Amino acid sequence: MQSLNLTAHQCLLVELWERHIAFEFDTRDTEATIETMVPQAYVNHVPVMTGGRGHNELRNFYGSKFIPQMPPDTRMTPISRTVGDSRLVDEMIFEFTHTIEMPWMLPGVPPTGLPVKVALVVIVGFDGDHLVHEQIYWDQASVLVQLGLLDPAGLPVCGVESADKALDASLPPRKI
């Protein structure tokens, strides 16, 4: 994902973020992931409050709760990216089959074997050439509906339809 209007500094932030993601999802290297972050960096998965603060907590989080607990068929489809002077915001679709425990997203929920497709937003803060924070948001109700753990009947929630609508704005809105 590239934009013709980024400054050289913004391009460096994008490169750093993409390197960080590659360490998490491609090489699955906890130490390399941590090295992209300031010593007191934090990760906050807002819907379930998982993550950590500082290299020691993040080393434990990435090394035992996140990187090895990522389903093998995980896919991320970019929707949009906004880059400022010290912040980057990625909007994406996050997909996986719930074949393993995922304490970072579904703490205490055993694998269901069901597919999940959810819109996800990551807000990344930077200080120089290191990450300061990742604030990650997704619709946990949509995830729970898709896994059969939340009955949407009578509730203002939905399942995979919300991710599909994020990808295709031409889909009709929910009837109310």
Query: Could you give all domains of the chain from N- to C-terminal order, each with its CATH number?
Result: 8-137 (3.10.450.50)
Please state the rounded mean pLDDT for residues 91-113: 98
Strand order in the sheet with 37-45: 50-53, 37-45, 130-138, 115-127, 87-97, 75-83
Query: Which residue in this structure is represented by tokens 């994902």?
Result: 1
pLDDT digits (tens, 9 = 90+) for 124-174: 999 999 999 999 999 999 999 999 999 999 999 999 999 999 999 999 998
Distance of CA 34 to the CA centre of its chain: 16
4 C-beta neighbours (distance < 10 Å), count: 4
Whether the CB-CB separation of 127 and 38 falls below 8 Å is answered with: yes
Compute the mean pLDDT over every residue in the chain, rounded to the nearest whole number: 95
Q: Assign 110 a pLDDT band (cuts: 50, 70, 90).
A: very high
Region of residue 133 (phi > 0: left; psi between -120 and 50: alpha; otherwise: beta) = beta
- Spatial neighbors of 86 by CB under 8 A, at least 6 apart, are 13, 125, 126, 127
pLDDT of residue 4: 64
Say what percent of the chain tops pLDDT 90: 94
Q: Assign 1 a pLDDT band (cuts: 50, 70, 90).
A: very low
| Per-residue CA distances from 57 to 27, 40, 60 (Å) | 20, 10, 5
Q: pTM of the predicted model, to two decimals?
A: 0.92
pLDDT of residue 175: 83
